[in-house]
Amino acid sequence: MSTVTELSPSAKSAVTVAVMLAAIMQVLDTTIANVALPHMQGSLSATQEQLAWVLTSYIVASAIMTLPVGWLAGRYGCKSVFVISVAGFTAASVLCGAASTLNEMILFRVLQGIFGAALVPLSQTVLLNINRKEDHPKAMGLWSASIMIGPILGPTLGGALTEYYSWRWSFYINLPIGIMAFLIMLAVMPNTEKVERPFDKLGFFTLSVTIACLQLILDRGQHVDWFDAAEIQLYCALILSSLWVYILHTRTADNPFLSPAVLRDRNFMVSLAFMFFVGLVLLASMALMPPYLQNLMGYPILDIGFILAPRGLGTMLGMIVVAKIGARIDTRIVILFGLLTAAYSLSMMTEYNDFVPRHMLIESGLLQGFGLGCIFMPLSNIAYLTMPEEHRAEAAGLFSLVRNLGGSIGVSIAFALLSRDMQTHHSYLNENITPYTFVMGLQQFPQEYGTSLSVLLAGMNNEISRQAAAISYINSFYFMMWIMLAITPLIFLLKGPAGKKIKV
């Protein structure tokens, strides 16, 4: 990539805006369609299980195509790959909005995933390359903001567009953003030097099969009863065989698919571990909150969006604070503070029940966002602190892939544990129901149940289900809190240049 001296301040600002718009567009589209899924069902004449492929197809295609981003950027130039990706993603978004059948939607979502895979890692690479090393923390702050705000605003924006317009606008909204980013990049983004490097076809194929099957297990497991299904067993067999072939091949290949230099960088590998678990908790908690607020609290979809929005505000505040004081404090202390703050917010969420004051929901969300803002910005900077420039694009692709994997695994684990706990606690609560309970219910609530035993049974079952669900959500928040606390010792594995303090 061209150095910063080859870009005027106005050109650098324009490129920064363009790559951030591209990153926001891709990350936003990962979550914005979730809210629109029930509305798509009628338009596309699909069952709920069939409609799950609208999300699965996008995630799998994006995961596979994230792998060769580094090679593509080196072979064809960062600008060429970025411009084509933005154009393809924008066009695929329009096609998704115009889809009239389920097959068309799945095909266009696959195209979205293929073209969108490069947007986030290349946006990070471009920001690092057009800024001097001392400006990297500020650049990574902007990048982290775009990555964090997308998933948080996605449900809110998707709900509003679906409610007031149509689910199709969840995709059409990418058109003006994509056109703007495309034109700016075409006009002012500098060309990059091309690097001739052989493409490891076997490494790419085996790693792609592993990632794709893992994503399919996570997305399909809940629908087909996990490992009792032949489909999931087949995916597991493919993962084991592909991973075995990949490891053996990598040990002997002259040009392995992932450069050993990337995997040997200590800061980068520790940052990957952090990003995996933080992404797991971030997306899992975000996925659990909408059904909790809608099913237990009875909030309409628009109110849910506004209740969850302060989380994004907290993230922005955290990043602003880190940018102001980070130069005077060791980055490891900042990350530790963010981890403990996020863990404390999750401990607040363990106090939830089936009736929580709105201010408590907002306070815990704001605090959690603040903690995550203190984690993501310095972590995105420290990951590349000791990474050679020629490996940044490849490292950025792996960084984004691990973040997405963490989120997918987190969401799957959260809903699997929630479903199991709801059944378990429903059985436990049922053990306390005796014939005297029915008599007391009929006597104490004559206006609600009258003298009908069947109405009383239905009412009691609904209430037991509500209480079992509330307990299950609390257990999930406890689980996520302990994950945040458990990964804090990884802080001590991060190192600065020549043993010095690491500054944001």
pLDDT digits (tens, 9 = 90+) for 187-225: 888 877 777 778 889 999 998 999 889 888 887 787 787
Least confident of 14-23, 28-37, 309-318, 484-493: 28-37
14: exposed, middle or buried (Cβ count in 10 Å: 0-12, 13-18, 19+): middle
- Which residues sit opposite 394 in a β-bridge? none
Q: What pLDDT is attached to residue 338?
A: 93
Most confident of 125-134, 307-316, 478-487: 478-487
Instruction: For residue 330, give the 3-state DSSP assignment.
Output: strand
Q: Which of 54, 168, 173 is nearest to 111 (CA)?
A: 54
Instruction: Annotate 438-494 with DSSP letters as a single string.
Output: HHHHHHH-HHHHTT-HHHHHHHHHHHHHHHHHHHHHHHHHHHHHHHHHHTGGGGGG-
pLDDT, averaged across the chain: 82
CATH of span 261-504: 1.20.1250.20
Q: Average pLDDT of 488-501? A: 73
Q: Answer yes or no: is pLDDT of 465 > 80.
A: yes
Treating both helix axes as pointing N-terminal to C-terminal, what angle do 69-76 and 392-430 enclose, rounded to 10 degrees?
A: 160
- pLDDT at res. 4: 43
Do residues 402 and 276 lie in contact, with contact meaning Cβ atoms separated by under 8 Å?
A: yes
pLDDT score recorded for residue 355: 78
pTM of the full predicted structure?
0.77
Q: What is the CATH number of domain 1-200?
A: 1.20.1250.20
Which spans in 117-252 are helix H?
A: 119-129, 136-164, 169-172, 174-188, 201-224, 230-252
pLDDT at 462: 79
Average pLDDT of the segment spanning 24-39: 73
pLDDT category at 372 given cuts 50, 70, 90 is confident
Q: Where are the domains of the chain?
A: 1-200, 201-254, 261-504
Quick check: do 1-200 and 261-504 share a fold? yes
Non-local CB neighbours of 333 within 8 Å, separated by 6+ positions: none
